[in-house]
Chain A
Amino acid sequence: MTMTMARERDAEKLLEVRDVVQEFAVRGPGGVKGAKVHAVSGVSFDMWRGETLGVVGETGSGKSTLARSIIQAPRPKSGVVRFLGTDLMKLGRRALTEARRQMQMVYQDPYGSLDPRWTVLELVEEPLLGYKVGTKAQRRERACELLDLVGMDPGVFGRRRPHELSGGQCQRVAIARAIALNPALIVCDEAVASLDVLIQAQVLNLFERLRTELGLSYLFISHDLALVKQVSDRVAVMHLGQLVEIGPSEELYRRPLHPYTSALLDSIPGLDPATGKVRRPTAPKGEPPSPINPPSGCRFRTRCPLAQERCAQEVPKLRELFPGHQVACHFPLATPDAAATDGAASASGNGAATAGDAART
């Protein structure tokens, strides 16, 4: 917690996102214009240089859409996206291209993010070419350096094409390409979700190594909460287009404030490799609502054990309850007044949201 505060004071603010809204039209049966999907509904957060911010959420939470909105591909419907001080929403095409030099993205599909007809070296050189960096020879040299950095021998892999590589290798190429211009921010959109566990670990370690060596900042998006906690300093939890909680990863995990975060944590099988002890997950009740017709007010209320009338009438606003820890809930699981006692019950006087609550440190 103190680390984040220190960052606030000393470090530069990388990203300032305010009230971003993104919607999609959905075609009804027969191709007729149907309903609107409320993919991202008013999300705001900050991000500082040097930190890894994890964004976690399930299907339909809008996390990927949020990532795309930030890089303006496509531009969100409304809101402010201030990157290194400049509002990207207001930039024209050319200025946007220039601003985007500092942000890159690594995608989920290792093969889909590489043109199948290009060689590995060409792919890694592409950003250098696009931004007209150096001469042809210099670009080639830099590309080889980058491949080395991600642990791939340019002599062996340079002339290969994506279909000749494994999934993990493709992701390494994608990462090499992403760091080519020394960007300030790298957005990882489920970057390891398609990889096998052992390969995933290798790639995650690569991310960590590059982070410390090159001083990168990551916006790490995933549906896997354990994974996100592993790599992130802070974690933002999204539910159906709304940002429901954001705070330091250790604290979020130890003391979640939002019932949804708590439900997420309880759904994960917990395995202690040292002792082999297991914690069996507890499933939440109810079905996730549809992003086309989201519930009024707080969108989690249909599944929330603490929901009351107020939750249907008023959309909860994100507010900071503990230093660096914000939550958007009318009845959060812990409040500063009650924080003195361990295992704080919610303000409504109800019991803990789940059985697990009672045992929390």
Chain B
Amino acid sequence: MAAVDAPVATVAEVDAPRPRRAWARRLSLWVPAGLTAFVFLACFLGPVVLPIPAPVGGNVLESSLPSFSPGHLLGTDPNGNDILSRILHGGRASLFVAVTVNLIGLAVGGLLGALSAYIGGKVDTVIMRVLDVLIAFPSLVLTLAVAQSLGPSLTNTIFALAFFSIPAVARVARAATLSLRELPFMTAAELAGTPWWRMLLRHIVPNIAPQLITFSMLGMGTVIVIEGALSFLGLGIPAPNPSWGNMISEGQASLSATPDLVIWPSLALFVTVLAFNLLGEALRTHWSGR
């Protein structure tokens, strides 16, 4: 066998060079992030910055104008209210509800789940059984029941949706904490004399946060849709204040004649939910990739 020879023969195939992949991955994060940001900006800043009429108290003389009419980009509804305006304001309501519900879910559900797993034993069993019961209800039915008994209003909608969000997040938090608890660094922290609250805040929370945040991102879409359903059924945001749900509900009556009334809010809903879903997915890949 000779010393190192000139290499003999073949070179097997080479894939698409890697740098392109990293670039594509960054794009998959920034596009939905940008889209989500756009939706928020449009709904919250749009009416402030752009010359858009108020969502209620429209001129009856201008009712049922089709899309692209002068002064009303998306037309008006039977009451003369500008649809674009209603969409943007409705968006404010829907997004506000979604964000608040998710924050409550993360804070309450996250903490509950983490504590439950950390304490373990009977406490854990009891909490989990209660949550299991809540999860067992079809989400829509549960929120409907709560909303029905409380009556339609913004706050009540949030409250009802929280019932749905908290157990879901709690379960994820519990699972994440359980697997975390097995890791040696938790025992090491215990041996180091770390008190339970520091364990929770500085060890558990930072490590389960990525999972929880991606989960709630993906849940944003669901929350908005359910809110839409509630409003559609008249149990969410009360008329005449717009929300995408109740806009769809009202427009449904004249679907064949003026489909625009349904199409625009549905499109807005679709785009928003899609943006959140994509963002959630991207965050999940981005965070678990490391």
Do the two chains touch directly in the complex (Cβ atoms below 8 Å apart)? yes
Stretch of B4-12, B60-68, B155-163, B191-199 at the chain-chain interface? B191-199
Contact A131 B188 (CB under 8 A): no
How far, in angstroms, from A109 to B187 measured CA to CA in the complex? 13
Contact A112 B192 (CB under 8 A): no
CB distance from A83 to the nearest CB of B (A): 13
Contact B203 A130 (CB under 8 A): no
Total interface residues on B, CB under 8 Å, equals 18
12 additional contacts, CB 8 Å, given A104-B191, A130-B198? A101-B193, A103-B191, A104-B192, A105-B187, A108-B184, A109-B184, A112-B184, A113-B184, A115-B207, A129-B192, A129-B198, A130-B193
Contact B194 A126 (CB under 8 A): yes
- Given A115-B207, A163-B290 in contact, is the A107-B193 Cβ separation under 8 Å? no
Is B183 an interface residue when CB atoms closer than 8 A count as contact? yes
Contact A112 B183 (CB under 8 A): yes
Contact A115 B193 (CB under 8 A): no
CB interface residues, B 161-198, toward A, < 8 Å: 183-185, 187-195, 198
Total interface residues on A, CB under 8 Å, equals 27
Interface string of A45-79 (1 = CB under 8 A from B): 00000000000000000000000000101000000
Is A97 an interface residue when CB atoms closer than 8 A count as contact? yes
How far, in angstroms, from A285 to B185 measured CA to CA in the complex? 39
B290 nearest CB neighbor, chain A only: A163
Contact B185 A73 (CB under 8 A): no
CB distance from B71 to the nearest CB of A (A): 54
CB distance from B180 to the nearest CB of A (A): 10
Is B19 an interface residue when CB atoms closer than 8 A count as contact? no
Contact A116 B187 (CB under 8 A): no
A108 nearest CB neighbor, chain B only: B184
Is B206 an interface residue when CB atoms closer than 8 A count as contact? yes
A132 nearest CB neighbor, chain B only: B193
| Chain B residues closer than 8 Å to A316, beta-carbon distance | none
The 18 listed contacts between A and B (C-beta, < 8 Å) are A71-B191, A97-B193, A104-B191, A105-B187, A107-B184, A113-B184, A115-B185, A115-B207, A116-B207, A126-B189, A127-B192, A129-B192, A129-B198, A130-B195, A131-B192, A163-B290, A177-B188, A177-B192
Contact B194 A73 (CB under 8 A): no
Q: Which 7 pairs, one residue from A and one from B, show the smallest C-beta to C-beta distance?
A: A130-B193, A127-B192, A113-B184, A107-B184, A130-B192, A117-B206, A131-B193
| Chain A residues closer than 8 Å to B202, beta-carbon distance | 118
